Amino acid sequence: MGNLTVIMTDVEGKVHRIGNLDEGRNLMETAKANGVAGIYGDCGGGCACATCHVYVDEQWWAKVGEPDDIEGAMLDMVADVQRPNSRLGCQIRMRPELDGLSVTVAPSSAA
Amino acid sequence: MTTGTAAKPALTAEEARLLHEASLRDYDIQAHPHDYYRAMRKGDRVHFDERLGSWLVSRHEDILSVQADPITFSVNMGYHTQQARGMREEFQAILERDGGGYFPDAIMSDPPYHTRIRKLMENAFTAHRVKELEPRIREEVVDLLEKVADRGAADAVTEIAVPLTIRVIVEQLGLDHGMEAQISRWSQAVVAQISSMQSRETMLENAKLICDLQNYLIGKMKEREKAPREDMISDIVHARIAMDDGTTETLTFAEAVSLVRALMIAGNDTTATAIGNLFLLLATRPEVAATLDACVEDDRRLTRFVEELLRVEPPVRALSRMTSREAVLGGTTIPAHAHMLLVYGSANDQDEVFPDPRKFDMDRHNLGRHVSFGGGVHRCVGLSLARMEVKVMAREIARRMADIKLAIAPGDIRYVPTVATRTIEHLPITFTRRQG
Ligand code: HEM
Ligand code: FES
């Protein structure tokens, strides 16, 4: 068991503080394993469905970093809820610099 | 009208007639379904199609509800009751005797079993892995297009779309080149098992073909078991995932056979259909051809173009579920053990979700809402590969071909008679070769 922590605010506004995470664990898996509402992860972390969309809290953005082109194209599919600090949870892997990372789950694209 | 629910919008006389008389079993409805879809969405959102014996789920929000509850709405029951209807035992015995075994489709299952199977196959299909395949896919696309480019005429379905998707899956799985025609026949035999249109004779013929297919695949899998290569058969045979409790999961050989067989089939007709639809739009809607020309060298825009193509002409029209208990959906009570079809084609055409739905508008801000790849735990595994094949095709068409026109009257286009997909059988086109 690892020693990293992430804080996720789900789509219902509930704050989940999830600890004991291993390095390499991605945010989508972490959210699903802990019942974080609004994260579905339909494609299993394949960067192909955008159902694991999160907003990274501003103070963490620089450390988390920009999405690559493939992820950017996927985020573009949910442009109505995309923001400058959007990332796909399955593409963010925990590592020591991200200990304490805080993100908010994005709502689904509008019907 | 005092029930407290919102009043249903008034139906036109034609919509009322369609709801009353039409069926997705009718060829004319299968070929030109949009009015029927709209009538259902407006007048009877979860509609019992009597001649089909199935409940048709027509609205986007109801399809999402079904996808969110894969236990109540079972793929396992929906799929396996369709297989070799009425002749299942005989079919099974033939495969056990001559085909190396009867291997139920492991992916056509429900959670929690399905969750384990999905995890073991997903690694092969991530968008990042598929990106690495782009150069090889491009070579195949260019080869096929160059064969017809100077001729100025082709059947876009049988000479371009179908051969491409078979070549790609043969290469990705690691099967033998030269086997494409055989693989296409085998695929049709597997698909026929669930079409519920088989006589006993065709069942026997198809069972024989499926035996040959399984023996061929088993041979390849045994080879890869000993000597893995860079291909999907090796990925599946050697798949393993670490579980949270420290144990490792693998696939049984029987599961692996069923998955290789499923991958061989699932991506062929669907992706070929998408490419056929691309040619149809380019040939019949000048604004779509102009839109493609304008975005062809911009990867991000081209990705959007492909997604809107898949929304506006979804290859998979409708897929099966079965209720494992009585359930209420969109205000309608569906009994237990009822067969249902999720009409993806209708949900993509719903104007409350996609305003002016027949318009090709790649700037829709909610493009990712379309359900052409399904959604929830059964969302298409091969979606990145499918998108890549269609994208590369669109790009190479635009670079080489101009003035694409239908070589037959639009009314003469024939579709494969099935509820599951909306697939053009032949698409003769003419075009000019682009210079430079
Ligand atoms: C444009 C092309 C394609 C379309 C439109 C498409 C569409 C779909 C849809 C709608 C589903 C959901 C099934 C359901 O709701 O029950 C699905 C599932 C599936 N697709 Fe695709 N597909 C395409 C290409 C591919 C490719 C290229 C592959 C693999 C090589 C593939 C493999 C699968 C598999 C294995 C499933 C079952 C997933 C599960 O139940 O967990 N598909 N596809
Ligand atoms: S899980 Fe599908 S994009 Fe992240």
pLDDT tens digit sequence for B97-135: 999 999 999 999 999 999 999 999 998 899 999 999 999
What are φ and ψ of residue B105, in 5° steps?
-65, 105
| Distance (Å, whole) CA B370 – CA B64 | 11
Q: Would you say the ipTM is above 0.90? A: yes
Among B265, B270, B346, B423, say which to mutate for ligand 1: greatest number of ligand atoms within 8 Å of CB.
B270
**B112 cis-preceded (ω within 30 degrees of 0):** yes
Nearest to B304 among A44, A76, A80 (CB): A76
What region does B362 belong to: left with phi over 0, alpha with psi -120 to 50, or beta?
Answer: alpha
Beta bridge partners of B332: B329
Residue B114 lies in a domain: yes
Q: Which ligand has an atom closest to residue B236 CA?
A: 1
- List the domain range (segments joined by +) for residue B28: 13-433
**What Cα–Cα distance (Å) separates residue B276 from each residue in B1, B111, B281, B283, B426?**
46, 34, 9, 11, 9
State the CATH number of the domain containing residue B20: 1.10.630.10
Residues of chain B positioned with their CB less than 8 A from the CB of A47: 126-128, 384
Q: Which pLDDT tens digit goes with each residue over B49-96? A: 999 999 999 999 999 999 999 999 999 998 877 666 678 889 999 999
Cβ distance A109 to B368 less than 8 Å, yes or no, reads yes
Structure tokens at B10: 């008034």
Q: Which ligand has an atom closest to residue A30 CA?
A: 2
Q: Which pLDDT tens digit goes with each residue over B268-303? A: 989 999 999 999 999 999 999 999 999 999 999 999
Angle (CA) B276-B278-B283 rounded to 5° is: 95
| Distance (Å, whole) CA B406 – CA B290 | 17
Q: Which pLDDT tens digit goes with each residue over A54-76? A: 999 999 999 999 999 999 999 99
Residue B6 lies in a domain: no
Check: CB of residue B173 under 8 Å from CB of residue B267: no
Q: Residue A37 corresponds to which amino acid?
A: A
In angstroms, how far is the first alpha carbon of chain B from the final one? 65
- Residue B7's pLDDT band (cuts 50, 70, 90): low
Q: How many CB pairs under 8 A join A and B?
A: 72
Render A12-74 in DSSP notation, one character per residue: TS-EEEEEEEPTT-BHHHHHHHTT-TT---TTSSSSSS-TTEEEEPGGGHHHH----HHHHHH
pLDDT of residue B2 exceeding 50: no
pLDDT attached to residue B3: 42
Among B379, B380, B388, say which to mutate for ligand 1: greatest number of ligand atoms within 8 Å of CB.
B380
Look at the block and give the residue holding tokens 């045994």.
B222
Residue B400 lies in a domain: yes
Look at the block and give the residue holding tokens 């082709």.
B154
What is the least distance, in Å, from the CA of B384 to any CA of chain A? 6
**Ligand 1 site, residue B266, Cβ cutoff 6 A:** yes
The atom number, within ligand 1, closest to the CA of B344 reads 10
Element (H, E) at B175: none
Average pLDDT over residues B208-218: 96
**Ligand 2 site, residue A75, Cβ cutoff 6 A:** no
CATH class of A4-64+83-105: alpha beta
| Distance (Å, whole) CA B231 – CA A63 | 36
3-state secondary structure A88-106: EHHHCECCHHHCCEEEEEC
- Residue A111's pLDDT band (cuts 50, 70, 90): low
Exposure string over B251-273, b if 16+ CB within 10 A, otherwise e: bebebbbbbbbbbbbbbbbbbbb
Q: How far is the CA of A98 from the centre of ligand 2 (A)?
A: 20
Average pLDDT over residues B144-159: 96
Share the mean pLDDT of chain A. 96
**Ligand 1 site, residue B120, Cβ cutoff 6 A:** no
pLDDT of residue B1 exceeding 70: no
Check: CB of residue B272 under 8 Å from CB of residue B161: yes
pLDDT attached to residue B160: 98
Look at the block and give the residue holding tokens 């019992």.
B48
**Ligand 2 site, residue A101, Cβ cutoff 6 A:** no
Structure tokens at B368: 């990712």
Structure tokens at B407: 């070589």
In 3D space, the residue among B375, B163, B373, B121 whose CA is nearest the CA of residue B262 turns out to be B121
Nearest to A79 among B61, B365, B376 (CB): B365
Residues of chain B positioned with their CB less than 8 A from the CB of A79: 365-367
Residue B8 lies in a domain: no
In angstroms, how far is the first alpha carbon of chain A from the final one? 40
In a mutational test of the B interface, the residue from A30, A77, A80 whose CB has the highest number of chain B CBs within 10 Å is: A77
Q: Does B368 touch chain A (CB under 8 A)?
A: yes
Cβ distance A48 to B131 less than 8 Å, yes or no, reads no
- Residue B245's pLDDT band (cuts 50, 70, 90): confident
Closest residue in B to A47 (Cα) is B127
Residue B169 lies in a domain: yes
Q: Are strands A53-56 and A4-9 parallel, antiparallel or unpaired?
A: unpaired
Structure tokens at B165: 């998707």
**What Cα–Cα distance (Å) separates residue B249 from each residue in B113, B118, B222, B233?**
12, 12, 20, 17
Q: How far is the CA of A86 from the centre of ligand 1 (A)?
A: 27
Domain count, chain B: 1
pLDDT attached to residue B242: 82
CA dihedral B154, B158, B160, B161 (to 10 degrees): 140
Residue B2 lies in a domain: no
Average pLDDT over residues A80-109: 97
Closest residue in B to A51 (Cα) is B376
Check: CB of residue A56 under 8 Å from CB of residue A36: no
Residue B222 lies in a domain: yes
What are φ and ψ of residue B132, in 5° steps?
-70, -20
In a mutational test of the A interface, the residue from B379, B381, B389 whose CB has the highest number of chain A CBs within 10 Å is: B379
Residue B298 lies in a domain: yes
Cβ distance A46 to B125 less than 8 Å, yes or no, reads yes
Average pLDDT over residues A79-99: 97
What are φ and ψ of residue B383, in 5° steps?
-65, -35
pLDDT of residue A16 exceeding 90: yes
The atom number, within ligand 2, closest to the CA of A43 reads 2
pLDDT attached to residue B197: 63
pLDDT of residue B195 exceeding 70: no
pLDDT of residue B192 exceeding 90: no
Q: How far is the CA of B420 from the centre of ligand 1 (A)?
A: 12
